[in-house]
Structure formats: structure tokens, C-alpha cells
Chains A and B, each alone.
Chain A
Amino acid sequence: MARWRGGQLIGEAAPYGRVRLRRGHFTRQREAWAGNDVAAVIPGETAHFAHQATWHADEDWIDVPFIGSIDISHTFDNKGIKTSTIRFDNVGLVERAGVAGVFHDIKRGYYSPFRGAQAPARPQVFGEANDWQDRILKAVQIKVEQGMESDHPETFTGLIDDVDMDSLPDTITLTTRGFGQVLTDAHIYGSNRAIHWRGTPTVFADRLAADRTYDEGGAARALDFEAGLPPRYVCDADRHTRWASAKHDDATDVTWVEVHVPRGRYETFKLHPAYRGMRAYVSVLARGAGVKGGQAKVDGVAVADGWVDIGKGNVPSTTTQWIKRIGSTVLKEREYDFGPVLELGDDSVIRVYFTNLRAVHGGGFRASARELKAVRRVRKKEATDLHWILVDDASDIVKVMLRWAGFKEWEVESTGTRLKDPLTFHQGDFLIDPIQKIAEMTNYQFFINDSDPDPPTAAESIGVPVFRSVAALDPPPGLFMVASGSRPPRVRDLLELHDYDLLTGVQYKHSKGQLPYIIYVRGKFANEDEGGVPLGEDSTRRFQSRYTPPWTRNGRLEVAKHLVHTDELLTSAYDCEVAARLIAVAAALKANTVLVETPGFPAYELDTQISVVDEGTGLNTRIWIAEITSSHTLAEDGAKWTTTIGGVAIDAPDVVEAVDDLHRVLEDIEPFDVGVPFSVAGHVL
């Protein structure tokens, strides 16, 4: 980096490029899974044994000689998959040991895949085949490394799409794409997915919604109880009845109530305390009667009959292990996760211990509860018959697709959203289609990065897919104030490009055509009492927002272009207010685009930010990178490596002010006047 920053890429810092290739093949089968975790529940598979594609190398790398040029492009337009065009001389210099010493044969067309081949009824013209016959026509992995001779990380890996050959000069041009082409070109069919599902589409559904649920609990017992308030009342369906413990002398005493449950799968339980502020510990006595294999299971692992122990410790003042703790009870029924998934046999027990007992009238302390039930879950018949893939977070669908495509490592952010309805994909769909669907639903970005040189396993990596929320509006380093529950800042170090050291080209375009004058956002239908309003000739009443963007308020736009956006999914005026400001932010980003050229640099990445200062254009802004193209020529009479970055100017006034308006609506606070773009603490879109 230090040498590159100096802008003098000579000597040891001279641009270096290397292209290697090796033949290989994919296997597609169920086998042990050693890649990143995939939390989806797939019929017939486990977390450690799953259907996957795997790229296998069939030989060691060999260098492609006489490289003339390497062009690489990485944009979101191409589904975030890199493409590369590599041109090299098709003339071989083959060393031979002659009678009078070593010399070289000069063979035109030496690397042609057809050289040496003899079709039926055709003469053998160009001599015998060599190592390169057919080589670049087979399944071949290409790897490009660029940088300096002492430091040249991988800048591309992928498969050959096209081979173009020219004469005079004799060259071969390889057109290649990253391994993400498996996502865009392979259908969700056959061995591209788990092959035992013939005849059914691929369905993703929410794991919890794929179950029928039954509240279970009977034969209630308790350590003690007040006369007239026996434990059986936690099992009836009447919320007006309750169990209450006997009076205790100390609030720190421990008492309990339990219910017995039939065999089945349990993940949650329902508790309706009668007092607030108690502390509760939940223990489970697992029995294996009736469970397949004769033993209860905790997260799929068989356990002997007894109190389930997951390492949480003992309930205070007892020798019984707990698996769930409720710090402070509330006065309503709530459903709680056990934590692990429990497969319990008949007459298993769910016991709730209470401490921090409530002081009662007349002295003493008690615990009390109105209802205690465990929720038995049974997979819906259609989920089983149709082999639904069950997920807890929408991002799990992305991980399944990536595993089927052959990726073992990725950076996939949880979206925090569950599927409302099942998503179905058919054999005509491609592996990329579910990923794009989830990206659209969540406003996330998808692209594929190069493998990281560290850790060492990256030697076999075919790329690192990235699925995450857009970094365009992440605040700059040092200006992020962490709010409760916010994600930690992603922008930690900002690469700075200045006109005096590295910038060899800058183009900045401000396009007023992208900016609306007034933005109306209309939501679902609403009557007048609910706040629904008509708009001009549209007499239907809907939730609505009318928003004047900052460029209109500040006199930077004079033509009255109205934008009306209608979306049935917006179910309140507030939703419309937020949507209007999001539209303004998107318009502001599109209106301020930048192209920057620097000497070749391998470390730029999509969906990141860099800082640019250029006097000629007056730019002093961060840029969110949406496109990277690199052109590297290696001829001795004119080698040059340039990288062009395309993106949006995040700190342009239009963008800054529009984002500020958005944050004010989201946080509902006054503007924070320090002249920096992000006036609101910690809210990342």
C-alpha cells in the first residue's frame, strides 16, 4: 500500500500480473459439510451432512505465458459477478537440447486447443499434440494475480466462457467469468439441488410457520401450594384460575410448578405468571419413551433420561440443571424459546422454578402462575411431502443457494426478517433467482469478492459471496454514535485519493433530471377518519405523504416535476413519510455520479467507500463504489495498469440533506448542527 500511495510504480513496485490455470471438475452430492454454517432445515440432511457442489482441481496450476493484457470488470449490473478478458500470444517458445546446444523452437499456434488434433478424413498438418491440446476447452479454472512482484493478491478466479483465436498477430483471448456463473447459469433442477426430491419444486418456508402447534401440559404438580389454589389450575384453559405456592418466609426461597407432556418436538413454552418481577428458571426432565431410538434428543443429539443439561448451571438452592432463565416475569402470557430443540418422550416434564418471590398481603412471600404449557410442534403434511426447506431468517435461503453452487465460505448478514409466506422456485429458475428475490425484499446487495489470502484455506476458494445491507449510507469513521441495538460501524478505514498523488482521471456528473420537485407517496386505501386523502384527479382515499426535497427548498431545482409513487404495502401515513424520503435519497444518489481513475490497485471492493479530493472538479466527497474496471497491458513497450471506479458521491449536498431529512423522520429529533453528513446517532439504513 505504501509503495502504491507514492504513485511511483517502478522498480520493485512495477505492476505485475500473472495468470494461471488448471483443469478441474464439479461434484454434486450429499457429503460432509465443512463450510460456513447454514441454519436451514433440509429434509434428509443435517448441519454437517448436506447436498453441495464442490470444485475439485485435477492438476496443479500452470502459468499462461506471454500475457498481453488483463481486463477485469466488477459491477452490480452483472449480478455482482466478476468478468475478465485475458489476451496472450499464441506463439510457443519450446526449449530443445540440440546436438550443439540448447535452443528454442518457435511454434505459431502452439497454445491452440485444436493443434495436433486430427478429425476423420482430415490430414495431420500441425504436428503432434502438445500439453495444451484441448486444455483451454475443458473445465478450466483461471486465477489472476496482480500487484507488485513481491505482493500480488488474487484479483480474479473463474471459469472460461469463450476462446477467441486470431492470426497475425497470433493471439488467444479468453473471456472468463467468476464462479458466480454457476448461480446465473444453473437451474434449480437435477443434481444442482438435493436429488432425492424429483418431481417437486423447491419451496422455502418459515420454520415455525411450517408446524402445526398444540399446547400441551397435564398432570401438574408443585413443590407446595396454597389451599384452594392447586397446581392443576396451570393446565386448565381458564386464565382466571391460578396456582399459588404456599407462603415462604424469604423472597429468595425457591419453589416450583411442573406439567407433564406427551412425546413430541418442543421448542417453546408458554408461561402466564400471576405476579410480576419474579425470577424463573426452566428445567426439562427428558424421557425417551416413544421417541425413535428410545432416547430423547436435544438439538438432534440423543440424551439419557434425566434433567437436560446444556451447561447453564443449577437452579439456585437445587441440584437441578436449568436450560432457560427469565430474569423478571411480566403479567401476561408470553411464549419463550427453550433454546435447544427438544424431542421428548411420553411423560417428560417441564418444570418452572420461581425465586425472588412476591410479598403478599398478610406477610410472607409467594409465587403464582395462571398457565404453563409446552408447545408441541408437528410438521405440516405439505412441508414433509413437498420437502420444504425451512429457514428462520431470509438470509438462510441465500446460504442454501450458495452451498448448492459450490461456495464454502461467504459473508452473509442476517436480515432479521422471517418469511411470511412460502417461496416456491421451479426447475426453470436459476440458482441466483432466490438470492435476488431476497435481496429485493430486504434491499440488500449481492456480489462476489475474491478470496481472502488469509486464512490459508483460501487456496481452494472459488470466491467469497457477500450478501448484506448497502453500505452507501454508512456513516464515515468517527461519526458513528452507537445506539442501542445498532449494528457496529462497517466503515473503519477510509482510503483517501488526492489529486496530488494518485488521481489520474476524474469525471463528476450532477444530473438534475434525476431529481423530483415534489414527491407524493400514497399507500393503501384508508377512509377519511383514518387519514386517507385523495390526490388531484385520483379521488381514492389513501394514506399519503407530501414531501418537498431539500433541493427544492434550497432553490436548486426550478422545474416542477411531480413524482407520485403508490405502494399498497404502506399501511400508514408514517410509512409514506419514510418512503418519500427514501425515494429522495435514491434520487440524490443517482443524480451525483463519479468516475475516478487511478493506477492499478487490487484492493478496491464493491459496496465500500473511498474518499476523493480533486481541485479540478471541486470534489471533496466519499464515493460509494458501484463499479470497478481494471485494464492491465503487459507489453514491454507500453505496460500500464489502470483502475476506474464508478460510484455515487455520498457527500454531495443533495445526498447529505436528503439523508438528514430521512434520519429526522426515523428518529424524530431536531437536526444536530455540526456540519457533518450524519446528524443522527447510529442509524444505518
Chain B
Amino acid sequence: MARDKFINPATAEEYPWPVNHESEEQAEKLRKIERSGLTNGVGFSRQQAADSPLTMQWKGTILNRSQVTAFWEWFALCRTQTIHLEDFDGQRYEVQITAFRPTRKRVVSNSREPGTQFITEYTIDFEIYSFVAGDMASAGVTP
């Protein structure tokens, strides 16, 4: 199976994830409707706001200390620029990492890092700026 990977478009640097993510929360794009009551007390006047951006939240487990460090480095890079995220399915997005929530969990042994008795479970949030390649890009959809 192909790896999830981060790509820095500025330098072409790539970081394939040692362990792909395990699950995804529902991607979300909201359309806010503001309702104001009418003075006769019946019904509403509605006003529609601009659509919110498309966001994704992935969850997974990291077994290597180096992967945790790498995620933090890419999170820091996203402070000043967007990056590309390509998933195992070849869907490629221009994203900004908006949240990274690692949690260490005790285990009897970590086969990927002998001598380490924890793994790291994480949640990572992305805001999608554009579809670079894949089904949505081919369809001409914009987030």
C-alpha cells in the first residue's frame, strides 16, 4: 500500500509516513444561515454566510519517535506556508495543518522501537485550500 506523505512544494522535499493513518472523521464544509425573527413573531428572515472551508480530521498511531518529531516540524512549517498532502489513494491536497494532538499510550513493548514502552496516538486536522490531484481535482471541484 502506498504511503501517506507530506510534500513541501517549495523544495520538493517529501516525507512518507512510516505508518499511515487509521481512520478519518467526516470531512466537513458548513454553510451558515443566520436567522432573524420578524417583529410579528412568526417566521424568520434568513441570511446566508459564505461557506466555511473544507476540513479533514485523521486519526492514527505513531510507533516511531521520529515520526512524532517530523509531524511537529511539518506543523511548524504550516505556520508560514501551505503544504501538499497525498494520501495512500493518490488524492493530493494543498493543506494547512491546523491541529496536531499526540497522546502517548503505554504498551508492554513497541516492536518498531525496541526499548520503548509507549506508542503515540494522534489526531491531526487539515484545512484544505485546493485539490491538487485525484478525483476532486479531475472533477474541477474547489473546496
Contact = CB atoms under 8 A, between A and B. Distances in A.
Interface of A: 7-11, 13-15, 96, 98-107, 498-506, 599-600, 614-617, 634-642
B47 A504 contact: no
A600 B45 CA distance: 11
Interface stretch (B19-27, B81-89, B112-120): B81-89
Nearest to A499: B40
17 contacts: A9-B45, A10-B33, A13-B48, A15-B47, A100-B9, A100-B14, A103-B10, A103-B82, A104-B82, A498-B40, A502-B38, A505-B39, A615-B39, A634-B49, A636-B52, A637-B52, A640-B49
Contacts of A106: 78-82, 96
A612 to B, nearest CB: 10
A168 to B, nearest CB: 13
A637 B32 contact: yes
Contacts of B33: 10
B8 interface: yes
B50 interface: yes
- Of the four ranges (under 10, 10 to 19, 20 to 34, 35 or more), the interface on chain B belongs to 35 or more
A96 B129 CA distance: 13
B43 interface: yes
B8 A10 contact: no
Contacts of A107: 80
Nearest to B52: A636
B45 A504 contact: yes
A510 B74 CA distance: 64
B30 to A, nearest CB: 8
Given A99-B9, A500-B43, A504-B39, 13 more contacts: A9-B45, A14-B49, A98-B9, A99-B11, A100-B10, A101-B9, A104-B81, A500-B38, A504-B45, A614-B39, A636-B52, A637-B49, A642-B36
Contacts of A641: 47
A104 B48 contact: no
Nearest to B83: A103
B32 A98 contact: no
A639 B50 contact: yes
A7 B45 contact: yes
Given A8-B45, A8-B46, A100-B12, A499 B39 contact: yes
Question: Which among B36, B83, B84, B132 has the highest number of chain A CB atoms within 10 Å?
Answer: B36
Contacts of B48: 9-11, 13-15, 639
Interface of B: 7-12, 14, 30, 32-34, 36-53, 78-84, 94, 96, 129-130, 132
A13 B48 CA distance: 8
A10 B38 contact: no
B16 to A, nearest CB: 14
A636 B38 contact: no
A500 B42 contact: yes
A70 to B, nearest CB: 14
Contacts of A599: 36, 45, 47
Given A500-B40, A500-B42, A504-B37, A640 B47 contact: yes
Nearest to A96: B10
Contacts of B94: 101-104
A10 B12 contact: no
Contact of A636 (B14, B42, B44, B51): B51
Which 8 residue pairs across A and B have the least CB separation, nearest first? A639-B49, A98-B9, A499-B40, A14-B48, A10-B48, A103-B9, A99-B12, A7-B45
A631 to B, nearest CB: 12
B11 A98 contact: yes
B94 to A, nearest CB: 6
B65 to A, nearest CB: 27
A672 B32 CA distance: 54
Given A8-B46, A9-B45, A101 B132 contact: yes
A588 B80 CA distance: 62
A502 B40 CA distance: 10
A125 to B, nearest CB: 15
A638 B45 contact: no
B47 A9 contact: yes
A12 to B, nearest CB: 10
Given A100-B8, A103-B9, A106-B82, A638 B39 contact: no
Contacts of B52: 636-637
Given A100-B8, A637-B52, A10 B40 contact: no
Contact of A14 (B42, B45, B47, B80): B47
A503 B38 CA distance: 6
B46 A9 contact: yes
Nearest to B32: A637
Contacts of B132: 101-102
Given A10-B48, A103-B84, A616 B32 contact: no
Contacts of B84: 100-101, 103
A669 to B, nearest CB: 40
A173 B135 CA distance: 41
A639 B51 contact: no
Contacts of B50: 14, 634, 636, 639
B10 to A, nearest CB: 4
Contacts of A100: 7-12, 14, 84
Contacts of B82: 103-104, 106
Nearest to A498: B40
Nearest to B14: A100
Contacts of A99: 9-12
Nearest to A9: B47
B134 to A, nearest CB: 13
Contacts of A96: 9-10, 81
A638 B40 contact: no
A634 B37 CA distance: 20
A292 to B, nearest CB: 68
A636 B81 CA distance: 22
Nearest to A632: B47
A96 B38 CA distance: 48
Contacts of A98: 8-12
B34 A638 contact: yes
A7 B38 contact: yes
A58 B1 CA distance: 58
A104 B47 CA distance: 31
Contacts of B46: 7-10
A104 B129 contact: yes
Contacts of A639: 32, 34, 47-50
Given A500-B40, A504-B37, A636 B49 contact: yes
Contacts of B96: 106
A19 to B, nearest CB: 15
Contacts of B78: 106
Nearest to B11: A99
Given A10-B48, A15-B47, A103-B81, A504 B40 contact: no
A504 B36 contact: yes
A45 B49 CA distance: 54
- Kindly name the residue among B47, B51, B96 whose own CB sees the greatest number of chain A CB atoms within 10 A: B47
A96 B82 CA distance: 10
